[in-house]
Amino acid sequence: MPADYATLAKTIAALTEGETDPVALMATVTCEVHHADDRFDWTGFYRVTEPGVLKIGPYQGGHGCLRIPFDKGVCGAAARTGQVQLVPDVDAFPGHIACASSTRSELVLPVFDGTGALIAVFDIDSDLPDAFTTGDAEALGAILEQVFARDDEPGGQL
Ligand code: SME
């Protein structure tokens, strides 16, 4: 079943209300998103922990690699450019990092705090080819903005 994004956004808003700790927020978003859609086989965050480096954050699915430099993989491209990466065929993406050989397509969104600073990327992998649409990217981007770029939320330490 494709995700019901309106319900998902409401559920996540209710669950995260008043919470500002980034890891608590990431864990909750990951769990809710992962279980909302059968296309999502790996769902999780990579956090910006030092300049040019992403480290694994909360995730659901098989094990994810621990460290991704900004110049590597789909996640690195999202972090480097600050742009959503919608990859219909991971084999056609130069430098794709295969954490799971079953992954066929990916959607990676940059995550910004309320000051506009990049704090993480949100990575969803599917075992189905061409699993993601721009509609998915828009709906998930709105949820990430709602949770991580709230006006009342300072950047916070990851
Ligand atoms: N495939 C990603 C790496 C992360 S994992 O798949 C969990 C990439 O190329 O950025």
The confidence score (pLDDT) of residue 152 equals 55
Task: Report pTM.
Answer: 0.94
Does pLDDT of 156 surpass 60? no
In a domain, 23, yes or no: yes
Residue pair 64/70 in contact by the 8 Å Cβ criterion: no
CA distances from 21 to 2, 27, 66, 79, 135 (A): 29, 10, 21, 21, 28
Domain that holds residue 83: 5-148
Chain segment 18-64, per-residue pLDDT in tens: 999 999 999 999 999 999 999 999 999 999 999 999 999 999 999 99
Q: Specify the higher pLDDT residue, 2 or 13.
A: 13
Residue nearest to atom 3 of ligand 1 (CA): 97
In a domain, 156, yes or no: no
CB of 41 shorter than 6 A to ligand 1: no
CATH number at residue 68: 3.30.450.40
Number of domains observed in the structure of the chain: 1
Chain segment 68-87, per-residue pLDDT in tens: 999 999 999 999 999 999 99
CA distances from 86 to 65, 100, 130 (A): 20, 18, 9
The confidence score (pLDDT) of residue 2 equals 79
In a domain, 154, yes or no: no
CB of 57 shorter than 6 A to ligand 1: no
Chain segment 114-147, per-residue pLDDT in tens: 999 999 999 999 999 999 999 999 999 999 999 9
Mean pLDDT computed over every residue of the chain: 94
Residue nearest to atom 1 of ligand 1 (CA): 97
Residue nearest to atom 2 of ligand 1 (CA): 97
